[in-house]
Chain A
Amino acid sequence: MSSPSNTVVTLPEKVRRGEVFEIRALVRHEMETGFRHTEQGVRVSRDIIREFTCTYNGEEVFRAMLHPGISANPLFIFYCRAVKSGDLEFRWMGDNNYQTILKHSIVVL
């Protein structure tokens, strides 16, 4: 499970230096809480994304630590300050060695 096709990240292609721009990051994931039971009373084990990070030219912009209280298909809309052109990297990590990485370049005018 590491195909970036599971993810949708929306951000502007070009921004002005100093501008604070919005990033929307969505990943397809069940976020099985670990609190549910089958009809036979067997607990369904937890399978969630635990951590989402966004880095900008290697520096951390934003990080979320997730618990089962985050809905299926986790969405985060957050912000970033444009410093210089470069790469934004988005990484989702979770139970059962889940990891997805997506890279996005950005042009700062």
Chain B
Amino acid sequence: MAPWPAVWARPDDAAQAISKIVGSRPVQYGRIHIELAPLVENGNSVTAKFSAQSPMTAADYVRAMFVISEGNPLAEVVSFHFSPLSGRAQVTTRIRLAESQRIWVIAEMSDGSLWRAHADTVVTLSACTEMI
């Protein structure tokens, strides 16, 4: 197996990625729902659903959701940017998981408030670094 790259994310890197998003603003727990299997056989493609509670009107909507990994080579996984036209702040996608880890989601609302949630998952076959 190839050696782990020096940039391999650790919980510290995830914390750093989160602080890059939130700065010194307070972050509350809640309003976000993560659907991620607690046990994953193949980390190459893991279906995950992310949603945030919001009326999604011009006055009150979810501006963005950021997905952060504690165990991938790169802490940032993906970010979603919404508008009132989105109608619903919900996205399903497929992500890579290099190992068993915690996934964080940070949501930023149109009023500037920040919310967070996390999900833990166990991965039996990891992704990202295999030789080809």
Interface residue ranges, A against B (CB under 8 Å): 20-21, 33, 35-39, 41, 44, 56, 59-81, 83
Contact = CB atoms under 8 A, between A and B. Distances in A.
Interface in B41-91: 44-46, 56, 67, 69, 72-74, 76-88, 90-91
Contact of B90 (A65, A68, A79): A79
B78 A62 contact: no
B82 to A, nearest CB: 6
B93 interface: yes
5 contacts: A20-B88, A60-B81, A61-B83, A67-B76, A78-B80
B85 A56 contact: yes
B95 A63 contact: no
Given A62-B80, A68-B128, A70-B77, 12 more contacts: A20-B87, A35-B74, A39-B131, A56-B85, A62-B86, A64-B91, A67-B78, A68-B96, A71-B45, A71-B46, A75-B92, A78-B80
Interface of B: 2, 5, 44-46, 56, 67, 69, 72-74, 76-88, 90-96, 127-132
A36 B6 CA distance: 13
Contact of A67 (B2, B56, B74, B81): B74
Contacts, number: 116
A90 to B, nearest CB: 14
Chain A contact residues: over half helix, strand or loop, or mixed? strand
Nearest to A82: B87
Given A20-B87, A69-B95, A77-B91, A37 B81 contact: no
Given A38-B131, A81-B87, A68 B79 contact: no
A92 to B, nearest CB: 13
